[in-house]
Amino acid sequence: MDSNLWLPLIGIPIIVAGFALRFNPLMVVIAAGLATGLAVGMDIGLLLETFGEKFMNSRQLASIMLILPVIALLEKYGLKERAQTWVASIRSATTGRILMLYFVLRQFTCSLGLISLGGQAQTVRPLLFPMAEGAALSKYGNLPDSLRQKIAAHAAACDNVALFFGEDIFIAFGAVLLMTGFLKENGITDVEPLMIGLWAIPTAICALIIHLIRLSWLDAQIARDVQVWQQAQAKAQADEQAGAQA
């Protein structure tokens, strides 16, 4: 087989090796792109021009570049503390209930195509996690670091799962249009975006139910983890006092 046919795939082992060695992901992707372009004979000037064009046309990168400084300023002036104080004033608020409410709202808005209303950078990090953590702090006081990490993971998972299963319902979503176009190119012309969106609804409902069940157990897990942590602290203090008296 002609070895030139494999040249466009040279970026794949570069990405695999880069991620396996834990190099900077952005640098790995850039290196893979440069290697692929040079391997297929692209001019270096054209290659750099293509990189710049794709970077400038990427709405996601542009939004992140604008959002991150704003979020940083808000956090500097007490956004996290304000969110935790507000949640602490709501007696019925718990970590699980806050995350359940966000999951339902996030999946519903994503199904309407309003994907940018949430996100890890603009919502989870500055708002959702502090609110979920604040509910636990209000009820139990200090929390172990492992429990804080668990709450942060659940907050991030809420956004990811809701987005993943909610956006497929929106018929103008890029993946839905890609699937429709691919099927039509291969002779399957009776599949429309609306059909794909409708078939995504049962999966989204299952994801909603399963994740809400998981979140309904979260409050009990937090209570158990806090109790174990407090018992361990009390035992450590008792051992320290006993050692001091001895």
Assess if residue 238 is contained within a domain. no
Helix (H) or strand (E) holding 223: helix 218-245
Report if residue 240 sits inside a domain.
no
- 112's CB contacts (< 8 A; 6+ apart) are 170
Structure tokens at 118: 């949430």
Distance CA(98)–CA(103), nearest Å, equals 9
Spatial neighbors of 138 by CB under 8 A, at least 6 apart, are 84, 87, 88, 93
Residue 236 domain flag: no
Tell which wins on pLDDT, 153 or 31: 153
Among 169, 89, 165, 158, CA closest to 128: 158
User: Does the residue 244 lie in any domain?
Assistant: no
Q: What is the pLDDT of residues 104-141, one digit of tens each?
A: 999 999 999 888 888 887 889 888 999 999 899 888 88
pLDDT at 153 over 50: yes
Is 120 part of a structural domain of the chain? yes
Q: Among candidates 155, 161, 142, 159, which has minimal Cα distance to 95? A: 155
Are 27 and 67 contained in the same domain?
no
Q: Report pLDDT digits (tens) over 41-84.
A: 877 877 777 777 766 555 555 555 556 666 666 666 676 777 77
Question: Does residue 246 lie within any of the structural domains?
Answer: no
The sign of the CA dihedral 163, 168, 173, 179 is: positive
Instruction: Based on the fold, state whether residues 42 and 123 are members of the same structural domain.
Output: no
In this prediction, residue 1 carries a pLDDT of 46
Tell me what percent of the residues of the chain surpass a pLDDT of 90: 30
User: Which structural domain, as residue segments, surrounds residue 45?
Assistant: 3-57
Measured distance CA(125)–CA(76) in Å, rounded: 13
Quick one: 93 and 45 in the same domain? no
Average confidence (pLDDT) over 74-102? 80
Same domain, 47 and 69: no
Number of domains in the chain: 2
pLDDT exceeds cutoff 60 at 225: yes
